[in-house]
């Protein structure tokens, strides 16, 4: 299959793109490289922004079979400080992509959604039918795009798979690709950097209603996440029906548990500076 991968120079996108190629698919990565890395893409890369329809024009007549849509701003805390940026990029950029698909006759899309659409759940486990109550503009922007996908299916027949990620972790097993954010906000790479003496470790919030007072998160390995996108494409091809899936492992680990494991594996008992909760 020929697959358009938006945001394919980023963390999850680049690892998924690599897996797609390994499975024999032809891919074209479309990325503005604001957060992505050119060196992470080994095949065709088109540098462009979804907010610029002229950039999308570079992809005309490629005859894609399916789109995997990763491209988005993805920091919940930042979205509360710069809401308009998230609304423009994640919603309006996504709308431009859908209109491009409509014009080009592309009838399938796999969407990189998020568990942030649920907000703070009232009960566990969280199912695909749980109440949607985003606690950040980021989560709201992803939920808004899911709703747009619903309407583009109903009106234009563009089928979709919403993959609602919990927390991606890890790297490509061959060590070729992994997390490389600037600034780095994710817990595990920050803890590793602290163990290496590269930063002072700050932990935000220790007053949550959990056994140790820190946030509990469900982590899924990034290669498992990448594999789920291939399964989503297979499911779309098989059923020709839109659907949504949560992607996690069903077990949570608190921030202090994760930090404790990094300390154990590294053998470095680095100090932790506790700070107030971050909004979002």
What is the DSSP code string of 209-221?
Answer: SSTTSS-EEEEEE
42-100 pLDDT, tens per residue? 999 999 999 999 999 999 999 999 999 999 999 999 999 999 999 999 999 999 999 99
DSSP 266: H
pLDDT at 110: 99
Average confidence (pLDDT) over 26-41: 98
Q: How many CB atoms lie within 10 A of CB 187?
A: 22
Tokens of 169: 């972790």
180-226 pLDDT, tens per residue? 988 888 999 999 999 999 999 999 999 999 999 999 999 999 999 99
Tell me what percent of the residues of the chain surpass a pLDDT of 90.
Answer: 95
pTM above 0.85, yes or no: yes
Q: Is the pLDDT of residue 158 over 70?
A: yes
- CA–CA dist 161, 104 (Å, integer): 19
CA-atom Rg of the chain in angstroms: 19
> Are 160 and 108 in contact, with CB atoms under 8 Å apart?
yes
Q: Is the pLDDT of residue 278 over 90?
A: no
pLDDT at 183: 81
Give me the domains of the chain, ranges plus CATH numbers.
Answer: 2-170+221-249 (3.40.50.720), 187-216+253-275 (3.90.25.10)
Sign of the dihedral defined by the CA atoms of residues 46, 47, 50, 54, in that order: negative
Residues designated catalytic:
138
| 3-class state of residue 236 by DSSP | helix
Q: Is the pLDDT of residue 280 over 80?
A: no
């Amino acid at each position: 299959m020929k697959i358009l991968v938006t945001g394919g120079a980023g963390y999850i996108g680049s690892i998924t793109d690599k897996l797609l190629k390994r499975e024999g698919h032809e891919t074209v990565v479309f990325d503005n490289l604001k957060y992505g890395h050119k060196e992470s893409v080994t095949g065709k890369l088109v540098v462009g922004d979804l907010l610029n329809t002229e950039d999308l024009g570079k992809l005309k007549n490629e005859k894609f079979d399916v789109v995997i849509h990763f491209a988005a701003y993805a920091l919940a805390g930042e979205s509360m400080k710069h809401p308009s940026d998230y609304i423009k990029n994640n919603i309006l950029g996504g709308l431009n992509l859908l209109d491009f698909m409509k014009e080009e006759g592309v009838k399938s899309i796999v969407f990189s959604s998020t568990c942030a659409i649920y907000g703070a759940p009232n009960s566990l486990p969280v199912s695909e039918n749980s109440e949607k109550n985003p606690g950040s503009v980021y989560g709201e922007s992803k939920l808004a795009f899911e709703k747009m996908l619903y309407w583009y299916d109903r009106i234009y027949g563009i089928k979709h798979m919403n993959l609602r990620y919990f927390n991606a972790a890890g790297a490509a097993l061959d060590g070729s690709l992994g997390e490389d954010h600037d600034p780095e906000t994710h817990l595990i790479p920050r803890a590793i950097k602290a163990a290496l003496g590269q930063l002072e470790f700050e932990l935000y919030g220790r007053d949550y209603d959990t056994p140790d007072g820190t946030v509990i998160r469900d982590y899924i390995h990034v290669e498992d996440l990448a594999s789920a996108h291939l399964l989503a494409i297979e499911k779309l091809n098989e059923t020709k029906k839109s659907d949504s899936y949560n992607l996690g492992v069903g077990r949570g680990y608190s921030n202090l548990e994760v930090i404790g494991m990094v300390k154990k594996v590294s053998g470095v008992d680095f100090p932790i500076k506790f700070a107030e909760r971050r909004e979002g």
